[in-house]
Amino acid sequence: MIEQDKRMKELQDSLGSTNGRWLQLSDMRRIRARLVTTSSECSVCRELIEELDERVDHAADQNGNVTRQERQAYTRMVSRMKHHLQKQHGLISDGYYGSLYMALGVSVGLLIGGMLFESIVFGLPIGIGIGLALGAGMDKRAQRQGKVL
Q: Which residues in this chain contact Zn ion in the complex, by CB under 5 A? A: 38, 42, 44-45, 88
Give 42 or 110: the residue with its C-beta nearer to Zn ion. 42
Could you tell me the smallest distance in angstroms from the CB atom of residue 29 to Zn ion?
A: 18
Give 36 or 44: the residue with its C-beta nearer to Zn ion. 44
H-only helix segments in the chain = 2-15, 25-39, 43-61, 68-89, 96-112, 120-144
Could you tell me the smallest distance in angstroms from the CB atom of residue 13 to Zn ion?
A: 29
Give 34 or 55: the residue with its C-beta nearer to Zn ion. 34
Could you tell me the smallest distance in angstroms from the CB atom of residue 51 to Zn ion?
A: 13
Give 37 or 143: the residue with its C-beta nearer to Zn ion. 37
- One DSSP character per residue, 56-98 reads HHHHHHTTT---HHHHHHHHHHHHHHHHHHHHHH--B-TTHHH
CA-atom Rg of the chain in angstroms = 20
- Residues with Cβ within 8 Å of 1's Cβ and at least 6 positions away in sequence, in order, are 36
Could you tell me the smallest distance in angstroms from the CB atom of residue 56 to Zn ion?
A: 19
